[in-house]
Amino acid sequence: MENFRFFNSTAIIFGKDTEKLVGAETKKRGKRVLVHFGGGSIKKSGLYDRVIGSLRESGIEFFELGGVRPNPRLSLVYEGVDICRKNNVDFILAVGGGSVLDSAKAIALGATFAGDVWDFYIGKAAPTGALPIGCVLTIPAAGSESSQSSVITNEEGKLKRFCDAEILRPGFAIMNPELSFTLPPYQTACGASDIMAHVMERYFTNSRHVELTDRLCESTLKTVIDNVPIALGEPENYDARAEIMWAGAIAHNDLLGTGRIGDWASHMIEHELSALNDVAHGAGLAIVFPAWMKYVCNHDIQSFVRFAVRVWNFDECFHDPEKTATEGICRLENFYKSIGLPTRLSEIGIAEKDFGMIAEKCKRFKGDTVGNFVRLDGKAIIKILELAR
């Protein structure tokens, strides 16, 4: 087990009707608030009115910025930074899913920084300050509600980059599973893939003697696998939605990574896919992850045997570990298909002619290689893309 420090400062407020508490929670932290959200779904559902009503009851002055899209754009971040600076905003409230939260975190960084907020995402500056953030979560997926990460897409050059900093963890996260009842099936499925990827990036590690977090990872994966089909068949099944929503937070609040070094190559590769053609992050991960597994499984076959046996309930072939490992990967891929996700690059319009460019952009961002479980150079990335085509 690796040395580690674990600290998570986000207060989780979980359960039915908890969005009614947003005014009181926000008032503890700010007086002039930017309310940041996506499209019209929160207005159609009535959530917008409940949030605004709670803020007004608490006497909070607020400003608004909607329009966040999946793979949130830098241009909207700049707009938010401008609003915050001009109106002396002292708190940002994100109402939505991971994209809204990622955008809110970028705005929080930029509002207190004299330079260009994009510098944080390309490694030219290190975060030292940010406005505080809170959120009302509507989509269980990214885990951004209690993580230290933000991912932003720069339209110029189609670059998707991340920034990690402890100061980006929201002060509170209101998580009412009822708010996810109206999610379209595809969005529910993409969220599940995102959650599973966050777990698997940590699960496949070269760190040894991490039995506790192995088991925590496996349980989180099995919870998602068991409950997503229920949520797809019964969209208003509170218990299934609650299990998925809590799994999404646990998957990315850093608990599952304690004592181990994660990989993250699949995320780096997928970022280039979604920057290129705007595919949903979870859908891109459903394509990349099985291909990555096929490429690296012989590096530590027993990790993949354990994955097949403990997560997918496959009866181990003791005389043929490769068969067991392959079956686990196959079951993962079939699960993605069963919930309506793509598993091939051809399904999202990525052609073989793009592979070299994707590999080069990925490599250029992280240096000569990406990943930790197996370090991948440009040729290896192309081979993974070929396995996914």
Q: Classify residue 1: in a domain, yes or no.
A: no
**Exposed e or buried b per residue across 2-24, where buried means at least 16 C-beta atoms within 10 angstroms of its C-beta:** eeeeeeeebebbeeeebbebbbe
Report the C-alpha gap between 195 and 167 in whole angstroms: 22
Report the C-alpha gap between 8 and 31 in whole angstroms: 24
Does 274 lie in the same domain as 374? yes
- What 3-state DSSP class applies to 149? strand
Does 217 lie in the same domain as 237? yes
Does 211 lie in the same domain as 93? no
Q: Classify residue 124: in a domain, yes or no.
A: yes
Q: What is the CATH number of the domain that holds 369?
A: 1.20.1090.10
Does 380 lie in the same domain as 333? yes
Domain hosting residue 153, numbered range: 11-179
Among 179, 211, 226, the domain boundary falls at 179
> Which residues have a Cβ under 8 Å from the Cβ of 353 and sit 6 or more positions away?
none
For residue 207, give the DSSP letter: -
In the numeric block, the tokens 């920057």 are attached to: 275
At 352 the pLDDT is 95
Does 189 lie in the same domain as 163? no
To the question of pTM greater than 0.85 for the whole model, the response is: yes
At 365 the pLDDT is 67
Residue 319 neighbours by CB distance under 10 Å: 7
Tally of structural domains, the chain: 2
At 368 the pLDDT is 86
Does 63 lie in the same domain as 31? yes
Give, for all 389 residues of the chain, the pLDDT tens digit. 999 999 999 999 999 999 999 999 999 999 999 999 998 899 999 999 999 999 999 999 999 999 999 999 999 999 999 999 999 999 999 999 999 999 999 999 999 999 999 999 999 999 999 999 999 999 999 999 999 999 999 999 899 999 999 999 999 999 999 999 999 999 999 999 999 999 999 999 999 999 999 999 999 999 999 999 999 999 999 999 999 999 999 999 999 999 999 999 999 999 999 999 999 999 999 999 999 999 999 999 999 999 999 999 999 988 999 999 999 999 999 999 999 999 999 999 999 999 999 999 987 766 789 999 999 999 999 999 999 99
